[in-house]
Structure 1
Amino acid sequence: MPKPTEEAMDTDTFNMSLRKFLKQVGVTSQQAIEAHVRDSGVDSGSLTARVVLTIDGQEFEHVVTGRIDLG
């Protein structure tokens, strides 16, 4: 139960805002990786990428590592 001075989180607003943020992260990250591959001249093999997500003012860090195959 929220404290009297706190407002309850609106789950729908939170989910919509989170999805918008994640879409922005996905789209801009894809564009940045595509530009890097194009500009660097790398055209075969694979790249190992890592994303580090933090939240300002919170003790939170989430790391995602993966491989991007170039063909």
Structure 2
Amino acid sequence: MSDDFNMSMRKFLKQVGVTSQQKIEEAMRDAGVDETAGKRYEAKMVLTVDGLELEHTVTGTIAGRE
């Protein structure tokens, strides 16, 4: 893979990570959720790439401090 390709992929993935965290934090604030309350949330991220027929799903748990 070329350096340009790797750089563009890393830039995209960084944007996904940063904006996803911001959206989760915003949703928690809007819902009045205290992240220190110890509640757990099931999360799912679906990645699709047009032209590659790729669909990749990642699931996990987001947990507040216990």
Counterpart in the other structure of 2:45:
51
Q: Structure 1 or 2: larger strand share?
A: 2
Unaligned runs of 5+ in 2: none
**Rounded Cα–Cα distance in structure 2 between residues aligned with 1:53 and 1:59:** 11
**Rounded Cα–Cα distance in structure 1 between residues aligned with 2:49 and 2:15:** 16
TM-score (norm 2): 0.85
SS at match of 1:67: strand
TM-score (norm 1): 0.80
Unaligned runs of 5+ in 1: 1-9
Counterpart in the other structure of 1:40:
31
**Rounded Cα–Cα distance in structure 2 between residues aligned with 1:42 and 1:36:** 9
Runs of 4+ in 1 over 4 A off after TM superposition: none
Cα root mean square deviation, aligned? 1.2
**Structure label with greater radius of gyration:** 1
Q: How does 1:1-71 map to 2 (within 5 A)?
A: 11-43=2-34, 44=37, 45-71=39-65
Aligned residues: 62
Q: Which amino acid aligns with 2:43?
A: A
Identity %: 61
